[in-house]
C-alpha cells in the first residue's frame, strides 16, 4: 500500500492532532538556561538527599518514616531531573 502524499509525517499529523506544533517546538535560549539552572540545583539536592538517606540508614535507631519520606522526595527529584533532561535533548524522529 503506497503512502499518502506527504509521507509519514502527514500520517502522524492526522493520528496525533497538534503534532506539527510539537514537532516544531524548540526551547528558547532563556528557557534552556532556566532548565539547566534548575537541573543543576536538582542534581545537587538529589546528591544531598542520597547522603542524608545513607547517614540515616546507618543509624540503628533511624526514623523509618523519615527515611521513607527522604526516599520519596529523592524519587520525585529524579523524575523532575529526567523530565528536564528530556526537554533539553532534541527529539530525533528516525
Average pLDDT over residues 65-74: 94
Quick check: is 78 in a domain?
Answer: yes
**Pair 39, 88: CB distance under 8 Å:** yes
Quick check: is 13 in a domain?
Answer: no
Residue 85 above 70 pLDDT? yes
Looking at residue 64, its pLDDT comes to 87
Domain count, the chain: 1
Average pLDDT over residues 67-82: 96
**In the chain, pLDDT over 90 holds for what percent of residues?**
45
**Pair 32, 64: CB distance under 8 Å:** no
Domain that holds residue 34: 27-88
pTM of the model: 0.64
Give the phi and the psi of residue 70 in degrees, each rounded to 5.
Answer: -65, -40
More confident residue, 73 or 30: 73
Number of C-alpha atoms within 13 angstroms, CB side, residue 83?
Answer: 9
Looking at residue 70, its pLDDT comes to 94
Quick check: is 33 in a domain?
Answer: yes
Amino acid at each position: 500500500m503506497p503512502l499518502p502524499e506527504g509521507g509519514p509525517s502527514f500520517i502522524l499529523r492526522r493520528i496525533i492532532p497538534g503534532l506539527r506544533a510539537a514537532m516544531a517546538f524548540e526551547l528558547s535560549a532563556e528557557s534552556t538556561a532556566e532548565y539547566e539552572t534548575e537541573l543543576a540545583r536538582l542534581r545537587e539536592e538529589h546528591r544531598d538527599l542520597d547522603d542524608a538517606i545513607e547517614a540515616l540508614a546507618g543509624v540503628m535507631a533511624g526514623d523509618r518514616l523519615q527515611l521513607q519520606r527522604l526516599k520519596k522526595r529523592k524519587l520525585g527529584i529524579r523524575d523532575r531531573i529526567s523530565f528536564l533532561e528530556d526537554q533539553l535533548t532534541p527529539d530525533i524522529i528516525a
